[in-house]
Amino acid sequence: MQNPHDHKAALDRLLSHASAPHQAEFRQNLLQRLHLALRIAGRTVQFLGTDGFDGSDHPDGNFAAEKPLAETAMLLYTAGRHAADPALREVFDAAMDDLAPHARSQRMRWDVVRYPSVCLQLATPHILLGALGRGDARFDALLAESATSSVSGSHEVVPYRELELMWLEALWRNEAPRPGFAEVARKTALGRAIDLLNGTREDAYAHTHAAMYYTDFGNRQGNLPRPAHEFLDESAAVLARALVIEDYDLAAEALMAWPLLSTSWSPAAAFGFRVIASLEDKVGFLPAGRSASSQLLRLDGHDRTKCALATSYHTAYVMGMLCAVALKPGMASPYATTGPAYSMSLVGDLRARIPAGSAHWEQVFAALRPDEQAALAPFLLDVALMQSSRKGDAVQMARLLQMALTHGLADTTLCAQAAGLLTRMGALVAPDR
Amino acid sequence: MSNAADREEIVRKFLGSKVFDFGAFGKFVAENGTSIASASDGEFGFVIGHRFIRYCIPPQVSVIQELDPAVMRGEVTGGR
């Protein structure tokens, strides 16, 4: 692999020739990023694969080993289609070797037998290793006992989790997803938009995850319940919000929607990719956000490594998965910000309506060429609308909608939801009749 | 919302109605204070009254500035 300076130089070359990137060069860049994620996976399994993590100051920061093991398996599953590449073969095989004994440990066998209602989730590493050619008949037999037990379907789940279970079961049985898969998809964000202005973080994850399972991480191109561009408009809004609040975990997940649906990168998506790629190069891995756990200062040795990995591995994995699906045949360079050029006066006006801050996207945007900035009016509109909505600034929202209509940008879910919110606000303050 | 034309029509309909009373809404905001707005950039979730409903994936952690980035990089990637 190249050293970090070579890596940065390669990225600089990519960014400076964004309008005409060299096909082989961007693929090499993505492979290097995937390599990094697989290297971090090896350390994650080593340090967190046996006991998980229980040293967090925050209750939600603790987790059992099953979580990183399942997520490691998902990273390997997405990376699997590139496993034969000489740049990845060694690190991929090493990560597979690291994961396998944990995936089928005595503890894991015990859990699968004891908790049949969640046995498929628990067996995620086993199932995905099997899909990658490393099956285990004895574990399969145990899983079959649990999966057919009288209480195996007793744990209720929300639709996108149901989609996940159906996806896992199909992989395990090496069959197409059972009937009803498309019907369940209709109940997820694939079939109906989440609330982009006032939805929850869980809603945003429901949006990003539904596409992963429905497409088998980009391997399956089934019919979506509605036009892909509608779903991608919403992915762009989730991405914009994630970049504003510097939630790079969510940003990278939102970005996966384009390659998962085998759709060309939109200017906003390409911009989002640049933001997180440049951050990964700056920090050395993609951080979850701006913060780091204060616990790290109090710890040393093995405990500090565990804590650092526990708070960082997930986002690093998502970046690796994003690069893996972005390497699908037919996908263009994610560094090329090309699209319809809007007037610079519109771009300047929209940018001026967004309060200046210190988020990384602002620095990257400022460094873009004018023609690249001109393609990002839809992104700026999304940011401005969401910012004004969160401040309860109805006047600004209405002005932005008028601008959107004037410039042909109003045909998005976010604009419609903003108009809907304003209509409801109007009803709230309307005089009694 | 089944297609783009519908979505644009919703916007057009709202703007065309001119029924939104900005003055009344401004008065409502003034009377109810800033609690109805969510100015925080650190949240994705929504606000009901004064309560945040938060879902943390991954968990929120406290901010520190003292940590050497190279140390963190070394711990996560195994390299220096």
Average pLDDT for chain A: 91
Q: A4 pLDDT exceeds 60? A: no
What pLDDT band is residue A338 in, cutting at 50, 70 and 90? confident
Give me the pLDDT at residue A19, please: 40
Contact criterion met (CB below 8 Å) for A44 and A313:
yes
Assess A410–B contact: CB distance below 8 Å, yes or no. Answer: yes
Residues of B in contact with A205 (CB under 8 A): 55, 57
pLDDT of residue A10: 54
H-assigned helices in A176-285: 181-187, 201-214, 228-244, 248-255, 257-260, 267-283
Please report where in the chains the tokens 């596409």 appear, as a residue.
A211
Do A255 and A384 lie in one domain? The reply is: no
Q: Is residue A334 part of a domain?
A: no
Query: Do A231 and A371 lie in a common domain?
Result: no
- Domain-embedded: residue A297: yes
Q: How many CB pairs under 8 A join A and B?
A: 203
Report whether A259 contacts A325 (CB < 8 A): yes
**CATH code, A167:** 1.50.10
Rounded to 5 degrees, φ, ψ at A245 are -90, 5
* Count of beta carbons in the 10 Å neighbourhood of residue A105: 16
**How far does B69 lie from chain A, in Å, by closest CA?**
7
Mean pLDDT, rounded, for A143-152: 96
- Asked whether residue A335 is domain-assigned, the answer is no
| Predicted local distance difference test score (pLDDT) of residue A254 | 97
Tell me the mean pLDDT in the region B57-62. 41
Range with lowest mean pLDDT among A104-108, A274-278, A297-301, B6-10: A297-301
Domain boundary among A326, A357, A372: A326
**What average pLDDT does the segment A187-202 reach?**
93
Interface pTM (ipTM) of the complex? 0.75
* Domain extents in chain B: 4-77
| A331 part of a folded domain | no
* A416 interface with B at CB cutoff 8 Å: yes
Position A299 in a domain? yes
pLDDT score recorded for residue B62: 39
Residue A270 has pLDDT above 90, yes or no: yes
Suggest the residue from B18, B25, B61 to mutate for an interface test with chain A (most A CBs closer than 10 A): B61
- Give yes or no: residues A118 and A254 share one domain: yes
pLDDT at B35 over 80: no
A8, A79: one domain: yes
Check CB contact of A206 with chain B, cutoff 8 Å: no
Same domain flag for A231 and A149? yes
Cα–Cα dist A62/A52, whole Å: 8
Span A207-212, average pLDDT = 96
Q: Which chain A residue's Cα is nearest to B48?
A: A198
Least trusted range by pLDDT, from A4-13, A253-262, A317-326, A391-400: A4-13
Residues in chain A: 433
**Closest to A277 (Cα-Cα) out of A248, A257, A254, A256:** A248
CB atoms < 10 A from the CB of B80, how many?
8
- Does residue A193 sit in the same domain as residue A247? yes
Residue B63 confidence class, pLDDT cut points 50, 70, 90: very low
- Average pLDDT of the residues in A350-366: 95
Shared-domain flag, residues A270 and A357: no
User: How is residue A22 annotated by DSSP?
Assistant: -
Q: Are residues A21 and A159 in the same domain?
A: yes
Residue of A nearest to B17 (CA): A423
Per-residue pLDDT band for A402 (boundaries 50, 70, 90) equals very high
Name the A residues in 185-204 with CB < 8 Å from any B CB: 193, 195, 198-202, 204
Q: With bands split at pLDDT 50, 70 and 90, how would you rate the model's confidence at A324?
A: very high
Q: What is the pLDDT of residues A15-66, one digit of tens each?
A: 544 343 466 789 999 999 999 999 999 999 999 999 988 877 776 678 889 9
Structural domain range at position A412:
344-427
pLDDT of residue A301: 84
